[in-house]
Structure 1
Amino acid sequence: MVLDVIPLPDAQLQFDPHWLGPLEADALLDGLHRDVPWETHRIRIFGREVDSPRLSCWIGDPDARYRYSGTLFEPHPWPDALVPVRERLERTLDVAFNSVLANLYRDGTDAMGWHSDAEPELGPAPVIASISLGATRRFALKHRDDPARKLTLELPHGSLLVMSGATQRHYRHALPRTTRPIGPRINLTFRRIVTPSR
């Protein structure tokens, strides 16, 4: 399968708005909503620990420990529903993913602030494979050094966005809040932990 390339300077982006078929995406959304042990992660912002504005779960192989925003996360085991998705992604992208961060955005007030997935555990040029399920949300990228270089994408149910190469080094990304009435969304960002945290 060949993904569409999205041109953006200093980045490598690939996108398929229909990577999962509607029925497959519906079943995955329902299964994860029901079976994942969702929790509120504590994150550090401007030196303060606060509740993140979404529910999350760090999932992965036993040694895929991950330190994010000052907190060390031990992985939960892979749910059965994610095993075939992981295998298909690995075949598509030729990357051995050993972890995934699952985020549940309950409505439009849940969001993700500006950040890069650039933790040392991910290596210098990580491949981040992002699957969106549920409500379509707006995803924004902004260049660290040149604010004129930016991009906004609508990520629909069943879509796959792949960020690789130097994307995390040069860009930050966010999922902004919206005042529109909107249903829940689950986002899965598959990663490979190169050097597990201790």
Structure 2
Amino acid sequence: MTELTFYTNPMSRGRIVRWMLEETGQPYRTEIVPFGAPMKSPEYRAVNPMGKVPSIRHGETVVTECAAICAYLADAFPDAGLAPPAVERGSYYRWLFFAAGPLEAVTSNRALGFEVPPDRQRMVGYGSFEDVMDTLEHAVSQSSYVAGDRFTAADVYVGSHIGWGLHTGSIEKRSAFESYLGRVGSRPAAARAAALDEAATREMQGA
């Protein structure tokens, strides 16, 4: 079996990939990369030149960026059923990359206190915070999951963003978001991933 290695820090976006890995049901090896010098070291930059986590190595293949990792794992392990058939992937790709683009950008900017002036909204991919929130609400309200009636890797990614955003206040508390998070966040794989990351956090803090 091809070895699967997960490079992460439990206090990072690596939590998204941990959930996705647990959904695949495949064995993997975890390497915790501390922030600071270890994450910016030549050794780790050989894996991810950005010097950031998460990353995965699957055999000779290295994948970085959370959305890309989620999509890759869904394709690498098709028996887990985490991607729709190729001819049905329109909504799957649409909302996976909507979350990686407009949603990630607007919530990050909002957390940093940056607001795009109304006359400059055409210069940014997300337009306005209100437009993104309304579009996200549409995405999670049309069916049980963002790509239809089955859970996919897109739900791992979108659900993670919504969960973090509701926790930090970077996403508005709307009933549609809370209902959707209740559906996807209660999955056993999500609970296993959270427990593993909490244990890793305690271990790091106690070191």
Q: TM-score range by the shorter chain?
A: under 0.3
Q: Specify which structure has the higher proportion of helix.
A: 2
Q: Which has the larger radius of gyration?
A: 2
TM-score by length of 1: 0.26
Larger proportion of strand:
1
Higher relative contact order (CA 8 A, sep 6+): 1
